[in-house]
Amino acid sequence: MDDIVAGQVGYRHDDTETRNDSFRFSVFETTFAEKFPPEVVFNGWFSIDVELQNDNVPRRVNEAALDVVFGVGRRLGPEHLKYVDADMDTDRLDFTWEAEPETVELVLAEDRWTALYHFTQVDVNEGRVYVHHYSRPENVIVLWVCDANVKAHTERRN
């Protein structure tokens, strides 16, 4: 206890994105006689809960062209759009988008009359996002990726 109170014992997290840590410790009985080794009084584990900071921006890891037939469309999949985030479960990433009106639209794959204004990485992974293509050979979709506190920005051409 004297060592802890004196600030001689400390803990430093290794800055990984783990939520838990622990270390093993032993308590020895202090003896003044040098001819006898210290006697272990107690052995145990000290558990630590780590509160992570949201300090990493979502990072794009997969980007393939989405070739879409004029006037029809195509499902958007993880091979076209895939982000990861070291701070959180990637499935919770939230996407919003913007495009020039009357050129392209993102809709539900099961109900192509319902526009999607927000969708998640899970929606992309499971093929729930459908891209309607209405005009011009090339269109730009601006995507914003949000992990609750940090936003990333990307442009997507189809």
For 115-129, the pLDDT digits (tens) are 898 999 999 999 999
Q: Does residue 28 register a pLDDT over 70?
A: yes
Q: What pTM was estimated for this model as a whole?
A: 0.62
What's the structural domain count of the chain? 2
Q: Are residues 45 and 69 in the same domain?
A: no
Q: Are residues 11 and 72 in the same domain?
A: no
Would residue 73 count as lying in a domain?
Answer: yes
Tell me the residue type at 84.
Answer: V
Q: What is the pLDDT, as a whole number, of residue 9?
A: 81
Of 140, 134, 122, 114, the closest CA to residue 81 belongs to 122
Q: Are residues 117 and 147 in the same domain?
A: yes
How far apart CA 135 and CA 150 sit, in angstroms, is: 33
Q: What is the pLDDT, as a whole number, of residue 32?
A: 65
Structural Rg of the chain based on CA atoms: 27
Q: Please give the structure tokens belonging to residue 158.
A: 């189809």
Q: Are residues 26 and 83 in the same domain?
A: no
**What is the domain extent for residue 94?**
59-157
Distances (CA, A) of 41 to 11, 32, 33, 58, 150: 22, 16, 17, 48, 48
